Structure 1
Amino acid sequence: MTLGILVISFLLLTGCNQFVNIKQNSKINYFLNKNSIENTLRDWNNIIQVAAHKYKVEEKLIKSIIYVESSGNPYAKSKSNAIGLMQIKPSAAGMEVYRLNGKKGQPSIKELYNPKININIGTAYISFLEKRLMNIKNKDVMRYATIVSYVNGTSALLKTFSKNRKEAINIINTMTTEDFCTHIKKNIQQFKHLVI
Structure 2
Amino acid sequence: MESFLYFFLAFSYLCLFVWGIFLVKKARLHLTNLLLFVIIGLIYDNLIIALGRFIGEGKMLESISYVRFLLHALFTPTLVLFAFGICLGTELPWAKKTFWKVLAFLMTLGLILYELFTSVINLELEPHWKNGILTYTSAGHSGSPIMVIIVTIVLGIVGFILAKRFHFYWLLVGTIVMITGGLLTIWVKHESMMNILELLLIVTLLMTWQFQVRYLLSQ
TM-score (norm 2): 0.29
Question: Which has the larger share of helix?
Answer: 2
TM-score by length of 1: 0.32
User: Which structure has the larger Rg over C-alpha atoms?
Assistant: 2
